[in-house]
Amino acid sequence: MSKSMLGKKIKAAILVEQRKPLVVSEIELPKTLDYGQVLVKIYYTGICGSQLNEIDGTKGPDKFLPHLLGHEGSGVVEEVGSGVKSVKPGDHVVLHWRKGEGIHSATSKYKWGDKSVNAGWVTTFSEYSVVSENRVTMIPKNFDMKTAPLYGCAITTAYGVIHNDSNMKMGDSIAVFGAGGVGVALVLMASLISAYPIIAIDINDYKLKKAKEFGATHIINSSKEDVKKKILEIVPGGVDVGVDTTGISSVREMCYELTSKEGITVGVGVPKAGTKICIDSFPLHFTKKITGSHGGDADPSYIIPRLARLQQSGRFDLENMITHTFSLDEINKAIEMVRTGDTVRCIVDMSK
């Protein structure tokens, strides 16, 4: 049996101050696991727009600084606290931010010199992480650990938006505004249920090319083309489902406007605190709908095993969704790539 890592020093990326680079440093793991907690050795973690929002203070001032980040990862269970039944040491797992099966434990604190570092129920920007049992889901030991983090947020959110928030059916049309990780995952999930047309909109040609690889039937570069004109040429009357992943007010308004009078608009991207949109609410008195999404109301314990089986069957391949790989020491470079670069999903490899 391997020696316990509890109480030992590990490398982690810490958010010390909003709108500043993360600090990569050594912190000390808790000495014991609380009821319902799981110690996971992190193999890979993804970087989501949510982490950018936390760094930027999109939702307002952060009361918990300094703290750890990351909510999608893959790893191997090292130890479990009392009460944990869904996983055991040696299990391969996906770490996710949505609640799954198991205990909702207390959150953890790490030591950083004479300071305390906060953490939520799941964090992944570190070599090891103490997480709540209901934030890990077991996957087969032969499953690809590099693509597994995509199930921690992007893929499960997209599944939930398609099946829960919008209740899409075969042959329904969809427009996805924003072709980042979640946007491309939405395109993939829509293609798996034979939606048509599947329209991806972005300002970045590289991301649009990737969206097409994952099932977009039409792509529109909004910096070069008239989005409204193009969508109405493809689907007169508007799409059945419009999804915004950007959180930008003008884009959210356009997404709603280009959803048909019988359709539904789903807001996935998180807007900056206090920003508002102006829409014609009259159609909402009839059959048109608009809703915000909270991770697609997805149950990762249900979704992840099913989609993992589909991936292993060859129904789809997520490898090309990962466009860049970085080490933990390069995490600020990775974050900047997510902000501005030609990328869909960046992965941090803890072994590098």
- Would residue 333 count as lying in a domain? yes
Phi/psi at 231 (nearest 5 deg)? Answer: -65, -40
Whether residue 37 is found in the same domain as residue 139: yes
What sign for the dihedral angle of Cα 89, 91, 97, 101?
negative
Whether residue 140 is found in the same domain as residue 166: no
What pLDDT is stored for residue 341 in this prediction? Answer: 83
- Would residue 242 count as lying in a domain? yes
Residue 80: how many other CB atoms lie within 10 Å? 21
- Would residue 338 count as lying in a domain? yes
* 170-172-176-182 Cα dihedral, nearest 10 degrees: -20
Whether residue 59 is found in the same domain as residue 97: yes
Closest listed residue to residue 119, CA positions, set 238, 229, 34: 34
Whether residue 222 is found in the same domain as residue 135: no
Whether residue 158 is found in the same domain as residue 292: yes
pLDDT exceeding 90 applies to what percent of the chain? 97
Whether residue 175 is found in the same domain as residue 279: yes
Residues 41-91 pLDDT 10s: 999 999 999 999 999 999 899 999 999 999 999 999 999 999 999 999 999
Closest listed residue to residue 175, CA positions, set 195, 192, 153, 155: 195
**Host domain of residue 89:** 9-147+318-349
Quick one: three-class SS letters along 14-54?
A: EECCCCCCCEEEEEECCCCCCCCEEEEEEEEEECCHHHHHH
**Does residue 1 surpass a pLDDT of 80?**
no
CB 24 within 8 A of CB 48: no
CB 95 within 8 A of CB 135: yes
Query: CATH code at 234?
Result: 3.40.50.720
β-pairing, 115-118 vs 109-112, is: antiparallel
CB 107 within 8 A of CB 129: no
Whether residue 163 is found in the same domain as residue 249: yes
What pLDDT is stored for residue 79 in this prediction? Answer: 98
Burial track 5-15 (b if 16+ CB lie within 10 A, e otherwise): bbeeebbbbbb
pLDDT-derived band at 296, boundaries 50, 70, 90: very high
Whether residue 247 is found in the same domain as residue 342: no
- Would residue 209 count as lying in a domain? yes
Whether residue 143 is found in the same domain as residue 260: no
Whether residue 141 is found in the same domain as residue 264: no
- Would residue 60 count as lying in a domain? yes
Whole-angstrom distance, CA of residue 273 vs CA of residue 58? 6
- Would residue 1 count as lying in a domain? no
Residues 151-194 pLDDT 10s: 999 999 999 999 999 999 999 999 999 999 999 999 999 999 99
Whether residue 113 is found in the same domain as residue 168: no
Residue 315: how many other CB atoms lie within 10 Å? 10
pLDDT-derived band at 3, boundaries 50, 70, 90: confident
Average pLDDT over residues 30-47: 98
* 118-304-267-316 Cα dihedral, nearest 10 degrees: 130
- Would residue 114 count as lying in a domain? yes
CB 208 within 8 A of CB 187: no
Whether residue 140 is found in the same domain as residue 202: no
CA angle 95, 96, 101 (to 5 degrees): 90
Whole-angstrom distance, CA of residue 97 vs CA of residue 71? 5
Query: CATH code at 59?
Result: 3.90.180.10
Counting the structural domains of the chain, the total is 2
Residues 227-283 pLDDT 10s: 999 999 999 999 999 999 999 999 999 999 999 999 999 999 999 989 999 999 999
Say whether pTM exceeds 0.85: yes
Whole-angstrom distance, CA of residue 96 vs CA of residue 120? 12
Residue 329: how many other CB atoms lie within 10 Å? 12
